[in-house]
Structure 1
Amino acid sequence: MVPEARKFIYGGTLTVAVLATALLSDYFAILLALGPTVYLLSLGSRPDEISAKDVLISHLTAIIAGWIAYLLLVQGIEPMTVAPQSIESFRVIASMTLATGLTAIVLVRFTAQIITAYVTATIVALGILPSLPAIGALVVGVALLTGLHAIFQDVGEWSSGVPP
């Protein structure tokens, strides 16, 4: 198969999976949280360069760190309505900083550096996905993305060393 066609099928499959998760759950911020990862996996690198384990660890770490930061600092604040240079805006900024910092500490420990996980941490820390069902839908999206990535790694020609 032509390398461009493989990338198109791979990227299209990942995109449809994330889009379906967002549409079926009615949490469209999932597109913001996982869209950069779809791009990175499908167009930014070869699928065999990033393991499914790294994708899973990075994003679950980001979700947990973002959720902790949200609960500690931003819960009850609507981030898009805070006044500039107010205590609430400081809390929103601190929440994002805490989430990315916690994510970085854990990812360095596991050496699972998927840079797009920081986007996920920020989305969750801002409270854009503010409920447990929303976080659950995001976890389902991450699991689906990771599973499809693992399948493409195993059955694709990428696993045989042939570049895409």
Structure 2
Amino acid sequence: MDQRVQRFGYVGALTVAILAAALLSHHLAILLALGPTAYFLALLPSDGDITAKDVLVSHLAAVAAGWIAYLLLAQGIDPTAVAPRSLESLRVVASMLLAMGLTAVVLFRFSAQIATAHVTATVVALGALTSPRALGALVVCVGVVAGLHAAFHETDGRSGKVPA
């Protein structure tokens, strides 16, 4: 199959999957959390080093880090309604920083270097996706994105890398 057609199918499948998850779950913040990842994965060369496991580990770690940071620091705060230079705004910023720091530690530890996972961590840390239903929809969508990445990038079965 022509590589351009395959890339178009891949980008289309990622976009439709993320959009469908957001619309079906009624949590449009899923678009914010995973949209940049679709763009990042679409720009990868077909022989890139990013595996489906990298996608899964990085984003699940980001979801967990964002949720922990939100629960510890920003629970109950509407980030769009905080006054500048207030304690609440400091807590929201601290929540985002903690989420990004925790995500960075996990990404470094597991060598799953997908920078867009920090976007996912930030969206969750801000409180946009914190209910069990929202988190569940986000996790399912992460699994679908990882599955699509695996399906469109055939591996050799040994190294998990795309054959050259």
* Shared fold, TM over 0.5: yes
Quote the residue 1:25 is aligned against: 25
**Retained in 2: the 8 A contact 1:7–1:43?**
no
Task: Determine which structure has the larger helix proportion and give its number.
Answer: 1
Quote the residue 1:147 is aligned against: 147
**Retained in 1: the 8 A contact 2:47–2:163?**
no
- The RMSD of aligned alpha carbons is 1.5
| CA displacement at 1:22 relative to structure 2 | 0.7
**Retained in 2: the 8 A contact 1:41–1:47?**
no
**Retained in 2: the 8 A contact 1:100–1:118?**
yes
Q: Does 1:112 align with 2:95?
A: no
Rounded to whole Å, the distance in 2 between the matches of 1:5 and 1:147 is 19
Quote the residue 2:130 is aligned against: 130
Rounded to whole Å, the distance in 1 between the matches of 2:44 and 2:148 is 17
Amino acid at match of 1:115: A
Task: Spell out the pairing of 1:51-70 with structure 2 (5 A cutoff).
Answer: 51-70=51-70
| CA displacement at 1:159 relative to structure 2 | 4.0
TM-score by length of 1: 0.92
| CA displacement at 1:47 relative to structure 2 | 6.2
Give percent identity, aligned residues only: 61
> How many residues in Structure 1 have an aligned counterpart in Structure 2?
159
| CA displacement at 1:82 relative to structure 2 | 0.1
**Retained in 2: the 8 A contact 1:47–1:149?**
no
| Structure 2 unaligned regions, length at least 5 | 156-160
Summarize the Cα distance change of 1:146–1:85 in structure 2 as closer, same or farther, 3 Å threshold.
Answer: same
Moved over 4 A (4+): none
Structure 1 SS opposite 2:153? helix
Which one is further off, 16-25 or 82-91? 16-25
Rounded to whole Å, the distance in 1 between the matches of 2:64 and 2:81 is 25
Which one is further off, 64-73 or 46-55? 46-55
Which one is further off, 48-57 or 93-102? 48-57
**Retained in 2: the 8 A contact 1:34–1:120?**
yes
Rounded to whole Å, the distance in 2 between the matches of 1:38 and 1:49 is 16
Quote the residue 2:158 is aligned against: none
| Structure 1 unaligned regions, length at least 5 | none
Structure 1 SS opposite 2:154? helix
Amino acid at match of 1:118: H
| CA displacement at 1:148 relative to structure 2 | 1.0
